[in-house]
Every structure is written in C-alpha cells, then in structure tokens.
C-alpha cells in the first residue's frame, strides 16, 4: 500500500502513515485515510495521488503534492452576526474552535481577550467616549463604561463575571475544565449580542419607523 511519512498528530511520532482508504474531491484532489504505524490511530490528508493510493506502493508524495498537515474538522462553530466587529468576531471564533478541540485553557484565555478587545472597540468608536482614555485593565474599563452610562448595570455585571472567569483560565495553575469553557463561551456570546447585535437591530427598526414617519428620532 502507499504511505506518507508525517508527524502523527495523534501520538506525536514522526512515522509511516499507511493508506487504507480514499475519496475523490474532484478529478485531481483526493482525501486519503491513513493509519499511523506507531500508534494505530487514523488521520486524513488531502493530496493528488497518481493512482489508487491503497493499491500503490511507495511514498505517495514522492512525485505529487500531499498536504503536510491532516484535515481537521471542527463541528458546530457558532455563526456570528455581521454587527459584531470583525476582530472581535475572529477572536470569539478562535476561542470557540479551541474549546471544540478540547484546548480549554486556550479557549478561556481567548474568550477573555474577546471581551477585552470588544471594550476597547467601544472606546475607539463611540462618539460619547471621544475624550475618554480607556483604562488598561479590562475590568476597570468595563466599570467605566457603566459609569459613563454607555452600558447598563446588567451588561457591566455580565462582562465582569466573564472577565473574572477568563482570568482563571489565563492565570490559574489548575486546568480549566470543559464545563467552565462552555459556560464562558455562553457568557461571551450573550455579552456580544447585548453589546452589538441588539443595539443594531433596535437602530434598524428605529430607522425604518423614522422613514415611515412613525417617529421623529
């Protein structure tokens, strides 16, 4: 059978990966199912074999391209509203992906960064804060947003709870758990919805009502 030599993402050993099956993506590209000879676990690599990779002999990428890294499928990544700023959304997706591949400490730390960047974005874009300098510490920044009447008390409390939990993931020596990461994802998602999505929806409805002459402002 054909094979690849790769660092196995399942066991970490640089090993021979024997082809055991494949499926065609198109006439050129295939996904090849391989088994690591060191640990017996499986991975899938994209490549361009010249013939049936299972029936072939020798190294599959000796003359044709195969990816160096296996395919990774991350299920059920949340779909975010376009009302959420791009960078904030990118961070949330990174954190959500980390949680789904069981990197819980990384997920918690990035959810914390998501909230940190989201509050910085408010200071950078809200005209009511044009003469205000944001605090360096995110919790102090959140409290200031409440004091300036930019955020209501409920949102300030929500953000503060999420930040404290994110701090645990970033700084505690104990491992951050799956349940903690999932709860922090829910809190962060709710916070982004309240910070960006709901205000945008309200603004859109108000604009429609003003255009229809149903309200003045």
Mean of the pLDDT values across residues 133-156? Answer: 88
Share of the chain above pLDDT 70, in %: 100
104-to-51, 98, 117, 174 alpha-carbon distances in Å? 41, 7, 20, 11
What pLDDT digit, counting tens, does each position of 92-127 carry? 999 999 998 889 999 999 999 999 999 999 888 888
What pLDDT digit, counting tens, does each position of 23-54 carry? 999 989 999 999 999 999 999 999 999 899 99
- Burial class of 92 by CB neighbour count within 10 A (0 to 12, 13 to 18, 19+): buried
The total of other beta-carbon atoms located within 10 Å of residue 101's CB is 13
End-to-end alpha carbon distance in the chain: 72
Q: Write the CB contacts of 96 (distance below 8 Å, at least 6 apart in sequence).
A: 77, 78, 107, 185
**How far apart (Å, rounded) are the C-alpha atoms in residues 85 and 212?**
29
**How far apart (Å, rounded) are the C-alpha atoms in residues 22 and 55?**
11
What dotted CATH number matches 86-211? 1.20.120
Q: What is the pLDDT of residue 107?
A: 93
**How far apart (Å, rounded) are the C-alpha atoms in residues 117 and 126?**
14
The helix/strand/coil state of 45 is strand
Q: How confident is the model at residue 199 (pLDDT cuts 50, 70, 90)?
A: confident
The total of other beta-carbon atoms located within 10 Å of residue 114's CB is 29
Domain with CATH 1.20.120 in the chain: 86-211
Distinct helix (H) and strand (E) counts, the chain: 6, 5
Mean of the pLDDT values across residues 18-24? Answer: 95
How many CA atoms does the CB half-sphere of 216 hold within 13 Å?
Answer: 0
Mean of the pLDDT values across residues 174-200? Answer: 91
């Amino acid at each position: 059978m054909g094979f690849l030599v790769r660092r196995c993402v399942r066991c970490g050993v640089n090993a021979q990966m024997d082809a055991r099956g494949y499926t065609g993506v198109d006439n050129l590209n295939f996904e090849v199912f391989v088994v690591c000879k060191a640990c017996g676990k499986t991975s899938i690599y994209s490549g361009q074999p010249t013939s049936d990779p299972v029936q072939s002999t020798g190294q599959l990428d000796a003359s044709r391209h195969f990816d160096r890294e296996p395919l990774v499928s991350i299920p059920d990544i949340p779909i975010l509203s376009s009302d959420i700023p791009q960078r904030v959304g990118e961070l949330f997706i990174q954190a959500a992906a980390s949680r789904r591949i069981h990197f819980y400490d990384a997920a918690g730390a990035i959810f914390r960064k998501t909230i940190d960047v989201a509050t910085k974005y408010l200071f950078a874009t809200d005209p009511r804060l044009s003469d205000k300098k944001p605090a360096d510490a995110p919790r102090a920044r959140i409290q200031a947003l409440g004091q300036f009447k930019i955020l209501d008390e409920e949102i300030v409390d929500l953000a503060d709870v999420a930040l404290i939990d994110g701090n645990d993931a970033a700084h505690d020596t104990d491992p951050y758990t799956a349940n903690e990461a999932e709860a922090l994802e829910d809190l962060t998602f709710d916070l982004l919805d309240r910070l960006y999505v709901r205000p945008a929806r309200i603004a859109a409805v108000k604009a429609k009502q003003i255009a229809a002459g149903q309200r003045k402002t």
